[in-house]
């Protein structure tokens, strides 16, 4: 009886050792595969990754927990932004800087907006026209009506006409200097497209009034000080995919998640 029991334990121990070796081999293989995918993602030019569904799926999978940890506090867990702090909606394919390509997003993530880094986006800023005494409260309200007109919303005709004149008046408003004569903005400088009807800080009449009267000076940190280049590339592909519906390979993404767990 004792001999049989001892033999059984030996077989059980051997089975446990074999299982452990198999599990370890699988884990090592998965890590090697993930590292190969990461190396491939970084070896390409930023926008080239978007044509490979497997790389897109890999980047999305890797980026989601990073976004949750570092970005969701401002942009929201659903990526739809927070108007109370001026954090933009990342799902709508309307971008202040660039057109939402991986390259554009990556540059913004790397160096931020008004972050203090020498390479940050910092060419334009929204001045406070009311605080500076350039526009009176009534004039600001008129400009708001013109902005409503530009964005295709209901507006007061007479006030909008006055606002349009102020918008074009270089000595008073001079809004067209940044936002352009037609209000379409300039993504090279970071001036918003006023015709898109997308507002980082809210789009009510009072929100628009506050933005014009008090100005805005939003800041985004330079993430290269916190995240690795791999994480920034993965986040860039992820955010590009969210706003452009890139053809990610969903089965592959599911496999990757299972491997990581």
Do the domain assignments include residue 131? no
Alpha helical stretches, state H, 1-136: 2-43, 53-70, 72-75, 102-111
105 and 146 in one domain? no
Do the domain assignments include residue 174? yes
pTM of structure: 0.81
How many distinct structural domains can be found in the chain? 2
The residue among 214, 232, 250 that closes a domain is 214
65 and 97 in one domain? yes
Do the domain assignments include residue 182? yes
Our CA angle for 174, 219, 202, nearest 5°, is 65
Q: In this structure, are residues 90 and 239 in contact, taking their beta carbons and an 8 Å threshold?
A: yes
User: Sign of dihedral through CA atoms 77, 82, 88, 91?
Assistant: positive
DSSP tag of 225: G
pLDDT tens string 23-47: 655 555 667 688 899 999 999 999 9
Do the domain assignments include residue 15? no
62 and 81 in one domain? yes
Provide mean pLDDT across the span 96-117.
96
Q: Give the domain extent around 75.
A: 40-118+221-260
Provide mean pLDDT across the span 200-213.
97
Residue of 39, 159, 59 lying closest to 109 (CA atoms):
59
114 and 226 in one domain? yes
pLDDT tens string 9-27: 777 766 677 666 666 555 5
225 and 174 in one domain? no
CATH (domain of 208): 1.10.760.10
DSSP tag of 89: P
């Amino acid at each position: 009886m004792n001999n049989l029991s001892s033999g059984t334990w030996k077989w059980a121990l051997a089975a446990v050792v074999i299982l452990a070796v198999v599990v370890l081999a699988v884990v090592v293989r998965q890590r090697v595969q993930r590292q190969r995918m990461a190396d491939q993602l970084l070896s390409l030019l930023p926008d080239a990754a978007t044509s490979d569904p497997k790389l897109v799926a890999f980047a999305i999978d890797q980026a989601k927990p990073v976004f949750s940890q570092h970005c969701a506090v401002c942009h929201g867990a659903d990526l739809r932004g927070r108007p109370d702090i001026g954090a933009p909606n990342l799902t709508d394919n309307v971008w202040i800087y660039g057109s939402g390509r991986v390259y554009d997003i990556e540059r913004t993530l790397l160096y931020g907006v008004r972050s203090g880094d020498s390479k940050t986006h910092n060419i334009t800023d929204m001045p406070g026209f009311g605080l500076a005494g350039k526009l009176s409260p009534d004039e600001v309200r008129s400009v708001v009506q013109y902005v409503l007109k530009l964005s295709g919303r209901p507006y007061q005709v007479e006030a909008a006409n006055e606002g349009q004149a102020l918008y074009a008046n270089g000595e008073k408003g001079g809004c067209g200097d940044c936002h352009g004569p037609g209000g379409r903005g300039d993504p090279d400088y970071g001036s918003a497209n006023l015709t898109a009807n997308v507002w980082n800080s809210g789009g009510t009449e009072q929100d628009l009034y506050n933005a014009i009267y008090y100005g805005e000076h939003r800041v985004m940190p330079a993430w290269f000080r916190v995240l690795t280049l791999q994480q920034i590339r993965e986040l860039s592909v992820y955010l590009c995919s969210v706003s452009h519906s890139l053809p990610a390979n969903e089965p592959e993404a599911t496999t990757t998640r299972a491997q990581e767990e």
